[in-house]
Every structure is written in C-alpha cells, then in structure tokens.
Structure 1
Amino acid sequence: MLLIDGVRVRQRGEVWLDDINLELPRGMTTLLGPMTAGKTTLMRVVAGLLPPDAGRVLVGGRDVTSVSVRRRSVAFVYQRFINYPTLTVYENIASPLRLDRAFPRESVDRRVREVAELMGIGELLDRRPGELSGGQQQRTAIARALARPVDVLLLDEPLANLDFKLREQLRADLKGMFADSPGVVLYATADPNEALSFGAPAVVLGEGRVLHTGDVAALYAGPPSLAVAAALSDPPLNVLPGVAREGGIDCLGATFPAPAGLPPGREVALAVRPHQVAVERPGGGAVGFPAEVRLAEVTGGSTFLHLLLDGGPHVVAHLPGTRAYEPGGRATAYVDPEDVFVFESRHGGGQSA
C-alpha cells in the first residue's frame, strides 16, 4: 500500500498541495484533474524528486519521505517520453535492470525481451530512439519503467502526446497490463474519458486538494460536487445559474425540480453535459431555452454548436452528425431535467434533480 499522509507543498509562496491524505492499494488508481490540479507535483513527491514541506510518504508501511530517489522502489513515466538517445531500445530497457544489484544478471536478457514483446516493440530492439516513431519511443519509455519490478509505478499522462488511434491501442494494452499488478500503479490523466475507460478507482484532484475518491463510473453518474462534475466532463460542462423557490428552481425563466431539502432563496448551479443538450424538442418534460447561434464546429461525425442563451450564459451542444448553422441565427437549447445536476453554489455540494 502507498500511504500519503498529510502532504503539503508550497512553491514560490503558493500552495501546490494542501493536506493530501490517500491510501492507495496494490493495482491501478487513476489520478484525475485539470492541468493545474497538482497531479505531477504529487507524483514527484511520491517519487522522491520533491521533498514535501509537511507530511509523509509510506510504501508498504515504510516511511520513505527522506529516502533518496535511487533508493526508492519506484519507476516514473513522463508525458514526454525520455529515452537515452545513444542507446538501442534493448539497452534502454535493460538500463534499470543493470543498475539494480538485486536483479539477477542472467535474467536481464529474458526480462528485456519479455517486456519488449508485451509492449509490441520486440522487433525494434536493435534500433535507437531517433529511428523510432513517437509511439514507439513512448512504448520504449514505458517498457523501461516496467522492466524492473517496483513497489510504485507512476505514469504522468503518458499517452497525451500520441495520436488518437495509437492512444486508444496503448490504453487497451495498459489496462490489461495493470489489472493484476503486484505493486501500486498511479496513472495521472486530465482526460475523463481515459479515466472512465480504465475503470480503475479514481482520485479527483483540484487546485492541490483531493476533491473526492471512489469508483469512477459512480462519480460520473452522480458527481458529489460541481468541481468533480467538471473534472469528469469532456467537452466542458455547461453551467446555468438558478435560485431555489417554493415550486422548484428558477433558471432563466424556466422551472426545474428542486432536490429535497433545498431551502428557498438558495442560489444554485445547474450543470448539464454537452451531449445532453438538444436542439430539437426531445419530448417529455424537456425545458427549452431560446438562444443565438454563435458558432458551429463540425468534427467528423458530430457538431459542437455554441449557443448564447437569451439573458444567460454560453452553452455548447454536442450533436450527432454534420449540422449547418449560420452564426447569428436562432435556435432552442432543450434540456431534460433528469439530465441536470444541481449544486449549491456556496460550497459546491450537489445532487441530481
């Protein structure tokens, strides 16, 4: 188990990590949050690259807070692949094994070839990084991290710089690879779709704090706060202002059901994901908001329609198919109340309406 106990980090007068407390078991955990959430900072503390200003890091019950990087049983894969340019793929993968005095010398060759085959680069062992594609270089970097058995494996958005097809392929490979890992695997990502595809327990970070932990699918279905809902929405969440009344929530002249116990007069935020905004009336109890078309972005088989609600904020509708809309034209944004999450603005807590 990896235990992060009360870790705080301040840099240049700013709080980068604020009282992080986590217990991470063996196997994979996803670290999810936007770019400034503190994911890399937390991983650097775990790896021993950045000493915390307060708190401890324990691995298997052993306090490693003051232990040097070289003496920690940890491997780190960065977003930008880092390989030794003068060494072959074989020697890159073998390098951590040769530095580990506890690893049997006679087992190095077998382990290198085993990991290379696992990562699909077995036929590239004689090449140097400069002769490889970006995806092959990242596979080499991951293979080097996997070669030596470690207690903690850290992966900091390792697929972010790869093209979509390769990213999907590697993601599937890694999911199977980490399913039965004997150590702790911490995988950082800013992409909620990636976190959902892995299906591993998630830690949601925001502004250097732990916002929530738990099953990622459950967090997506019922986010406990606006910040968690935003972290789990790509494209970005649509947020509308509302005020609780006796008969429900008033939102730009429309009425939505209010969660039980919400006192009248309380300001709230109503959140809806872009794919749940329609421009044709879906039937049932859908609520319509008149709007002005600002932009239509066509991306392959779908259209992102940017709308300015009358008297309200911008919203984005993610629509299937290719749609043609003229900027300045009129449209109606329809929202089903069952798809709306209601959050109390003051402290970000919330529940589905």
Structure 2
Amino acid sequence: MTTVTLQNLQKSFGDVVAVNSIDLEIEDGEFLVVVGPSGCGKSTTLRLLAGLEPTTDGRIEMGNRDVTGVEPKNRNVAMVFQNYALYPHMTGRRNITFGMKSSGDFSDAEIESRVEDAAETLDIEDLLDRKPEAMSGGERQRVALGRAIVRDPDVFLMDEPLSNLDAKLRIQMRAELARLHSALETTTVYVTHDQTEAMTLGERVVVMNDGQIMQVDEPQVLYDFPANRFVAEFIGDPAMNMIPVDIENGHAVHDAFTLPLPSGDDSPSTERNGAGDTRISDARHAILGIRPEDFRLSDVQTDDGLPTIDAEVNVREPLGDSLLLHCSIGATACNIQAEPRTEVHAGDTVSVTYDPARLHLFEDKTGEAFYHSGLHLPSDEQVVSQVSK
C-alpha cells in the first residue's frame, strides 16, 4: 500500500489553469473520491497522478518517492478509463494480460496465475475467451478492472468508470467496487461527477471547483457541515435551498418569515461553526441554507412551537419514496420534500416548519460558511477538514 502526496500541484494549458496549486494527502490504502462539475480539474488531476500529463508546477510523491517527472510505466499505477479502453479484436484474457511483459518482469506462469485470481475475484471466468463485442457494459468494465488488478499496482486510478452504465448496473458496480477495495486494500483515487457515487464509495471525498479544492472530508461531514456555498449546493440531491436573509439580533429575517438562530449550549462551538460569533447577531446580509428534507409540513407533524412559513406550491413532483414540492416562499424559489402520499397540489399554500438543528449561514459575497446550527457536531478528533480558500 502507498501514500500519495500532492504539493502545490498546478497544471496550465496556455492561459487556462486547470489545476490551481492544490495540496492533498491520500492515506495508505484509502479509497478517495474526487468529485466536481465538468471542467473543474478532477480528471486532469488524475492524469497528473498517472503521469499522462506533465505538471506545470508542484510535486507528486507516491510512497515517499518523488514521481513528478517519472514516466507512467515506472509509477506502478493502474488506470481504469471511462470508455473501458479494451481492444475489440482481443479476448478478455488477452486484454487483461496485454502489456504485462513490457511493463514488468512476469513469467508466463505468474501471468496465468494473476489472471485466474483476478477472474475469480471479479467473477469473470466465463468472459476470458469472449471478445468485447460479446460482453455487456458491466462485463467490459469488469474486464477493464481485471487488467488493472493483475498488475498489482501501488495505486488504482479510476476516471468515471461507471458513467457509461445504466442506472441499475451503476448501483451494482458501486457495490462491486466497494467489495473489491475491501478485499485488495489498495490506495484508490476515484474521479466522478456523480455526487451519489462520491457519497457511497468514498472514505473521504474531495470536492473541486475551478481547479481548486473546496473541501476534503468524510461524506457525512460534507453533507452536514459544508465549508462553503458551493459544497452545500453540490452535495445533496435535491440541492440545498439558498435564501437571502438579513441577520438581526440572532434571527434570520426574510420578507416571508423570521427564524431564530439557535445559540448557547445547543449550538456548535464558535471555533468550529460560528455559534456565539457576533456575525449571527450583527445586522448584515447573509444566505440561509436549508435542505429540502429539513423542511416539514406543519399539518403533518407537530411543529414543536417553531415559527411556520407559508409556501405556495408551484409544481408537484412525485418521486415514489418522497414528494418534492417546488414552491415559492415570498419571492424566493424553494424545494420542500414531503411524504410521498401527501395530498398537496399545484396552487395550494402550505405551512411548513423546519429542523432547527439543520440551519446554515453563508457569507453573502464569498459564500464561506460561518454558522451551522447542528446539535450533534463531530469532535475535532473525528473530523479534520481541509479547505482551500
């Protein structure tokens, strides 16, 4: 197993900065997911790790060895591509073994043994003598994974390997990848634009935007305590509602409501989440973040004395396990998640309350989070966030 360290890593294409001076420590045997929108620099970062792109600046270490200028074949990494990259005229076995002789000192017996072990691990014994045209998308992806496994690399690099699969097969392959990592315990860097993949697969998740790291944390911490507005809106489906408010004497004031902001013993520490910070009592503009699932219809559940908010329903979107209501709260568009069989229709006005432990405040101009009202804040020992500002 191998640690991977990126120090001040930068990649520019002419005047375009694709990766902007990022620092990152990937732990030994960790499954790290890099997620972000198209063009954020995540795939370029992976190609820098693989050696497929030269760095503009910075340093890459693998297992305390500087590999910044080392050729890809000498880095002992294995990459799984989005398009599988299988040779159509070769069988599954030949695709798996192709290049092993040139990239390492493997005997025929060792190659055969590794192929059999990989085929058993991935349950692809019956695919070894087929060509890719006779395989489904999921089978091709397993063969591509087999090609990576037989090399026994120090690091697995995976570039959106499930994006070409249908929804049902993606779920199945996510479970397969998690099982595979548990069995092999090889350091893995997995790139995706799908936040569901990131949340379900990653031991830690790196959120990138515009070539920079926005936040690195465990999936649940990203969801509960986003470091900035970008992370808050990117992680979670549906996205967090963002409501412009004025902060006045510890309250979030909107044209349609006034909400008290929890403070005192029930709110997070000032150092970690801004409770007790004078910014929640000073008169100022801010953005109030509330997730759709943290609203609730007040006529469905007891509102516990919380203030109610009137919302006009514009669109009703049944999702099977829930009902998503596209609403207007005053002049602000908001999404509210309700129970699936709730009798609410477009044009109705509903009263909603909210979970007081799930309120977030962001700086109006910078988007930086300065307050979370979470009542169950992880300890500093459990959560170590790395935020690039």
Residue matched to 2:270: none
Residue matched to 1:267: 285
Q: Deviations over 1:235-266 (max 9, x none)?
A: 22211111211142213342223342133122
Corresponding residue to 1:338 among 354, 357, 364: 357
Residue matched to 1:296: 316
1:227/1:278 CA distance change after superposition, 3 Å: same
Inter-partner Cα distance in structure 2 for 1:322 and 1:157: 36
1:296/1:12 CA distance change after superposition, 3 Å: farther
TM score, norm. by length of structure 1:
0.91
Corresponding residue to 2:84 among 81, 84, 93: 81
Residue matched to 2:240: 237
Corresponding residue to 2:120 among 117, 122, 126: 117
1:37/1:322 CA distance change after superposition, 3 Å: farther
Residue matched to 2:294: 276
Residue matched to 2:383: none
Inter-partner Cα distance in structure 1 for 2:22 and 2:305: 43
Tell whether 2:63 aligns with 1:60: yes
**Mapped contact 2:8–2:57 kept (Cα < 8 A):** yes
Residue matched to 1:209: 212
**Offset at residue 224 of structure 1 (A):** 2.5
1:154/1:25 CA distance change after superposition, 3 Å: same
Inter-partner Cα distance in structure 2 for 1:287 and 1:85: 63
Residue matched to 1:44: 47
**Mapped contact 1:191–1:234 kept (Cα < 8 A):** no
**Mapped contact 1:305–1:317 kept (Cα < 8 A):** yes
Inter-partner Cα distance in structure 2 for 1:94 and 1:130: 18
**Offset at residue 273 of structure 1 (A):** 1.8
Residue matched to 2:22: 20
1:340/1:285 CA distance change after superposition, 3 Å: farther
Identity of aligned residues (%): 31
**Mapped contact 1:241–1:252 kept (Cα < 8 A):** no
Q: Where does structure 2 lack aligned partners over 5 or more consecutive residues?
A: 262-274, 374-389
Matched residue SS, 1:179: helix
Inter-partner Cα distance in structure 1 for 2:341 and 2:99: 50
1:285/1:35 CA distance change after superposition, 3 Å: farther
Number of residue pairs aligned between Structure 1 and Structure 2: 352
Matched residue SS, 2:106: coil
Residue matched to 1:134: 137
1:265/1:85 CA distance change after superposition, 3 Å: same
Inter-partner Cα distance in structure 1 for 2:14 and 2:316: 42
**Once superposed, what is the RMSD of the aligned Cα atoms?**
2.2
Matched residue SS, 2:318: strand
Inter-partner Cα distance in structure 2 for 1:305 and 1:243: 25
1:297/1:41 CA distance change after superposition, 3 Å: same
Residue matched to 2:9: 7
Further displaced range: 151-160 or 175-184: 175-184
Further displaced range: 322-331 or 2-11: 322-331
**Offset at residue 2 of structure 1 (A):** 1.0
TM score, norm. by length of structure 2:
0.83
Inter-partner Cα distance in structure 2 for 1:31 and 1:286: 39
Inter-partner Cα distance in structure 2 for 1:251 and 1:179: 48
Q: Where does structure 1 lack aligned partners over 5 or more consecutive residues?
A: none
**Mapped contact 2:252–2:288 kept (Cα < 8 A):** no
Inter-partner Cα distance in structure 2 for 1:24 and 1:82: 26
Inter-partner Cα distance in structure 2 for 1:99 and 1:328: 68
**Offset at residue 127 of structure 1 (A):** 0.9
Matched residue SS, 1:217: helix
